[in-house]
Amino acid sequence: MLVNGRPALLLPVNDRGLQYGDGLFETLRIRQGRPAHWQRHLERLREGCRRLGFEMPDAVVLETEARLIAAEYPEGILKLMVTRGSGPRGYRPPVAPSPTRILTGSPVPDTPPGWRRDGVQVRICRMRLSSNPALAGIKHLNRLEQVLARSEWDDEHQEGLMLDGEHRVVEGTMSNLFLIRDGALLTPWLDRCGVAGITRGRIMDIAAAMGVACTQTRIGPQDLFRADGLLLCNTLIGIWPVRCLEGRPLPVPDLVRELQRRLENPDQ
């Protein structure tokens, strides 16, 4: 773990990331000693800092520190956090904040290969996502909704889908969602809440290159069961087909296999 470039396991108790969740994070896959899709993650981090109103740390410094972590975990996971830094008591942000950089490395968790091949079992969570367009899309540190949603089940499901306050499907607790219908892709709008995942963006680009229509739209729970197939995605899992939703079996279309294959190409 690096805190502001130095090996450390401790953080000041007045850091606003700890006090208020006042910060952002990125989770990256390290492949062959290099953080994959670095520029995409950097762009989302930069947008998050802009929205939260503090200066992003120098990109060269971040990349240098990321490569130090990657050297220790050449086929691992990099988590990069940036907080507004330490400050006085109270919600009012400091006038001249000094952001804190936290980078950690870890091994890739073992998951059964059947989840990628055959699909996963998924449920719909009771916990709802709050709508806030000012924070929609960015990966801020406030994850209590996801924590509470994930506490709703043990190991009988591999993921849970979250709805917003208007009963529309947004995303999984740790993943983005695509529906397949008549050979086209549909994915929820993320203009009110949710995280605009890096892998979600890659899949949309891959679909465009394939000539496969991909539409962002409002999706209700009933639409999930009318789809020809569902897939979940994030940086660590790649693509998981959904083989069972709320106890109902779902097919795995050939399009999922082709997207999985193309997503493995590091240049896409």
Are the C-beta atoms of 242 and 231 separated by less than 8 Å? yes
Delimit the domains of the chain by residue range: 2-107, 113-263
Which one of the listed residues 27, 173, 199, 235 is annotated catalytic? Answer: 27
Active site residue 79: no
Q: Judge whether 171 counts as a catalytic residue.
A: yes
CATH code of 113-263, in short, is: 3.20.10.10
Write the DSSP assignment of 52-112 as a string of letters. HTSPPPPHHHHHHHHHHHHHH-TTEEEEEEEE--B--SSSSPPSS---EEEEEEEEPPP--
User: What pLDDT sits at residue 72?
Assistant: 96
- Burial-class residue 41 by CB neighbours within 10 Å (0-12, 13-18, 19+): buried
Our answer to whether residue 27 is catalytic in this structure is yes
Q: Do domains 2-107 and 113-263 have the same CATH topology?
A: no
How far apart CA 137 and CA 190 sit, in angstroms, is 6
Options 26, 65, 159, 171, the catalytic residue:
171
Which pLDDT belongs to residue 180? 98
Q: What is the pLDDT of residue 267?
A: 65
- Write down the catalytic residue from 26, 83, 139, 187: 139
Query: Tens digit of pLDDT per residue, the chain (268 long)?
Result: 999 999 999 999 999 999 999 999 999 999 999 999 999 999 999 999 999 999 999 999 999 999 999 999 999 999 999 999 999 999 999 999 999 999 999 999 999 999 999 999 999 999 999 999 999 999 999 999 999 999 999 989 999 999 999 999 999 999 999 999 999 999 999 999 999 999 999 999 999 999 999 999 999 999 999 999 999 999 999 999 999 999 999 999 999 999 999 998 766 6
* Amino acid 268: pLDDT: 62
* Neighbouring-strand partners of residue 101: 82
Please state which of the four CATH numbers 3.40.50.970, 3.40.250.10, 3.30.470.10, 3.40.605.10 is assigned to the domain occupying 2-107: 3.30.470.10
The helix/strand count (H/E) of the chain reads as 8, 15
User: Looking at this protein, which amino acid is placed at residue 264?
Assistant: E
